[in-house]
Amino acid sequence: MSDKPVTQTDLFNLLDLIRPWQMTSDSKIRIGADADGGYVMPSVSLKSNLVLSVGIGDQVTFDDELATRGARVYQFDHTITATPSVDARCIWQRKGWGPNDGGEFLSLHSMVESMDWTDARHPIFKFDTEGAEWQCLPGARQEDLARFEVLTGEFHGFQQLINRPLYDIAFYTFRKLAETHRCIHLHGNNSGGMVMLGGLPFPRVFELTYIRRDAASFYGHSNEPIPGPLDRPNNPALPDLYLRAI
């Protein structure tokens, strides 16, 4: 990793990696709660029959909605003693996400291998791991990520992006995801508020949704407002974070 200061140009380069694309082959819908726990997804997600959900806590509206529609939802969370889901199609293990297997953690590869991929359609990977994504995604196998048609999750700790070590990890991670997937939706989680980095406003937490490049066609980068019409404040008591308005 470099020890050079993070510049405004660096920050623009990173933001360019997560600039949302506009799909021409699909539209977007919201799955889950009208607050924290809901995600904006391509509508093809409603046809998914296989979901990996890592980090659930008490927020299972996303999982439950897809399970109700017939998906098998593999849930992993080491911080709870039981899943709040009652649908038998939600299969929970008391394991967290780690860069490697060990103790109470499993790697993404081991989670993927534990799932039944027979006749899998439009598989989804959803994660909310309070910062563990930065330890786990960089070393995840590209072929494991590519198995998922849709990826959606929260990316935490952007207030530290001005620090070169985290910047390098984040840039590497987003460049890696961009090899197989394209970002189609971006929303700032208002629970964490905003910070100024290099003269640019950043949410402390981003919510991003990706679709695999070969699973959609694209017009170009999206010009829709952020937040968009399907977004909701994660904390309903606070105003949403406006990152781009048209």
Tell me what pLDDT residue 2 has: 63
Contact by Cβ (8 Å): 89, 73: yes
Contact by Cβ (8 Å): 18, 170: no
Tell me what pLDDT residue 244 has: 81
Task: Note the pTM of the prediction, 2 decimals.
Answer: 0.96
Tell me what pLDDT residue 86 has: 95
Tell me what pLDDT residue 3 has: 78
Q: 8-221: which CATH architecture?
A: 3-Layer(aba) Sandwich (3.40)
For the record, the structure tokens of 35 come out as: 């607050």
Per-residue pLDDT of the chain (246 residues; tens, 9 = 90+): 567 999 999 999 999 999 999 999 999 999 999 999 999 999 999 999 999 999 999 999 999 999 999 999 999 999 999 999 999 999 999 999 999 999 999 999 999 999 999 999 999 999 999 999 999 999 999 999 999 999 999 999 999 999 999 999 999 999 999 999 999 999 999 999 999 999 999 999 999 999 999 999 999 999 999 999 999 999 999 999 999 865
Q: Which of 158, 136, 140 is nearest to 208 (CA)?
A: 158
Please name the residues in contact with 20: beta carbons below 8 A apart, sequence gap of 6 or more.
183, 184, 185, 186, 221, 222, 224
Quickly count: other Cβ atoms within 10 Å of residue 24's Cβ: 11
Q: Which of 150, 149, 165, 161 is nearest to 208 (CA)?
A: 150
